[in-house]
Amino acid sequence: MLQLFTDPSEQSAPAGLEVKPGNDPIDNTTAILMREELENLLGRFENAVIASASGSTPINLQIASAEPKNPVTTIARHATSSIPSRTQNAIALAQQAIKQFPELVAAQNWVAARRLWLDARQKLWENYPTDGERSGAEIRAVWLDRGTIVAARGEAGLAQIFDRLADAGINTVFFETVNAGYTIYPSRVAPSQNPLTVGWDPLAAAVKLAKARGMELHAWVWVFAIANQRHNALLRQPDSYLGPVLSAYPEWANLDNQGRTWHENDRKAYLDPANREVRSYLLRLVGEIAHNYQVDGIHLDYIRYPFQDANRNFNFGYGTASRTQFRDLTGVDPISLTPRDGVLWQQWTQFRSDQVTSFVRDVRQLLSTNYPNVILSAAVFPHPETERIAKIQQHWEVWARQGYLDLLVPMTYSLDTNRLQRITQPLTGPQQLGLTLIAPSVKLLDIPNVVAIDQIQALRDLPSGGYSIFAVETIDSNLQGFLRRTQNNGGNHSPIIPYRQPLKAASDRYLALKREWSFLLANDQLWIRESQLNSFRNQAEVLAQALQNLAESPNPQALSRAQRELATFQSQFNGYMTLHAREKPYQVQSWQNRLASLDMLLRYGAHRLN
């Protein structure tokens, strides 16, 4: 049976398929999943090796490269002084396992198949590259949670946290600012500052500390979730306490179809997104943060309805304002509707979805009009679109296509890196993202550090703008060391951040890709037919020049040329990589993804230019 590691004694074991030694049969489905996991892990491993080893390589695609007579290739066969022998051996063992595993399964030699697979995977985990600067502009974000802020006790304690984040090369901090109905700062809009931070202003301190370290500070705001029983326990309040906002304005509550305020599973209470007073209050709160504090961004969380299950007759959205507005619109009280009502139920679902979307639009308009340099992002769920709209009425594809957001941060949490990639890939297409950047996320809780490192690599191999980490409190000293060694950039904390300088980021990321190709060419590890090599070099250089010109002088003509050259290069890329893809399909796919991320940056840059 396949499942994620759950044995608490396996603290050092990476998450993934649970495969144990033995002679149990391996069915076809299991064999396919095992081979896929090992192939993808090897692909990520090799990409990390190349990124680590190529950082100081001169960008030179003119290095001679001969078409191999027998392109059965390994990095171990073309050993270089910059790649340790143990790394080469781990790659060679994994390649051997990928080749021999199906043969052993076909021969029903289950013992040998399992042993070879386990040995190969373990060698990759043990030798995963954890050094070498990772070049190329990217969003490196982290959520700084309320608990960590409270534990800091003051600016001096908070400074230590920001020192660690700067040392790790983090460039974006989502700072928990509004939580469970409380602001973390003294507010004239909200009824109460969080009692756990009374006596100081963490937001003011955080803005100052971030700016001094060349980092961006984005105020993380709980939007429609307004009370939390877990937070009540910290404040020694009864479970029934609805927090300062709903206690003052109980008519603002989002009710379920039984008239209840509290969500039975997440133990939170929510605001009614259709209530005009609610919307006005939330917009004034965002305006207060943007006006009084020099935040670089607003990060929306709980920008949705509570989770529901219509099949269990468990639905939310029945506050007084919602029911009244929907009745005025359709002549029907939604409390009487069920999914069996077909078109009317769809109207009710759409009505609720529209409330969330229009609120995101209103926040965008507020910021664009008054604080145009403030970045707007949102933490969203990665569930399939139809399912997500039915369950939480969060239609973020519309927000992205309409350009309401600068940055989409899907909570792509998974214990298994292969699953993380499967979840994330469908979210990154131009039809989904439209005019928005994306920085998917890694949740550190319950995964070993090597899996976190592997998941960050997985997100770099997808068409993303970077990654987000949840959360600061779970970054231990070992992971801190990895981030410092690979992201510190010699202490330079004024990086190119894609949402801030998308056109420069596109050029910088493409140079990182060219550097890796130069490294591979120099070590006879990039296989292109001799008849195509000059064309590849020329087209790659033309694109590099177009992106550089655009970065140096942003204008519509330069943008159009860069987009045209990128599209041309993408259309020819598969042809150039025919030989290489035979042996390194994952690697070629990851390069295609990174070219697609350039297209994303140019679309977003075009939107910003306008």
Q: Are 293 and 186 in contact (CB under 8 A)?
A: no
Q: Are 554 and 505 in contact (CB under 8 A)?
A: no
At 77 the pLDDT is 38
Q: Tokens representing 458? A: 């997985």
Q: Which phi and psi angles does 217 have, rounded to 5°?
A: -115, 115
Q: Tokens representing 245? A: 């906002």
Crossing angle between the packed helical segments 477-487 and 449-460, to the nearest 10 degrees: 30
Q: Give the separation between CA 132 and CA 143, rounded to whole angstroms.
A: 25
Which residues have CB under 8 Å from 165's CB, separation 6+?
142, 144, 173, 213, 215, 472
Exposed / middle / buried, residue 309 (Cβ in 10 Å: 0-12, 13-18, 19+) = exposed
Beta pairing partners, 144: 175
Beta pairing partners, 219: 175, 298
Number of H helices, E strands in the chain: 22, 12
Give the three-state DSSP class for 200. Answer: coil
At 437 the pLDDT is 98
Q: Give the separation between CA 339 and CA 315, rounded to whole angstroms.
A: 11
* pLDDT tens sequence across 109-149: 999 999 999 999 999 999 999 999 998 999 999 999 999 99
Q: Are 138 and 466 in contact (CB under 8 A)?
A: yes
Give the three-state DSSP class for 557. Answer: helix
Pairing state between β 216-222 and 182-183: unpaired
* Helix (H) / strand (E) containing 437: strand 437-438
Q: Are 152 and 122 in contact (CB under 8 A)?
A: no
Q: Give the separation between CA 11 and CA 33, rounded to whole angstroms.
A: 23
Q: How many residues does this entry show for the chain?
A: 610
Please identify every stretch of the chain with a pLDDT value under 70, giving residue numbers as ranges.
1-15, 56-57, 62-81, 490-494
Q: Tokens representing 76? A: 């171990």
Beta pairing partners, 269: 227, 262
Q: Are 34 and 26 in contact (CB under 8 A)?
A: yes
* pLDDT tens sequence across 5-48: 222 223 344 667 788 899 999 999 999 999 999 999 999 999 99
Q: Give the separation between CA 574 and CA 592, rounded to whole angstroms.
A: 8
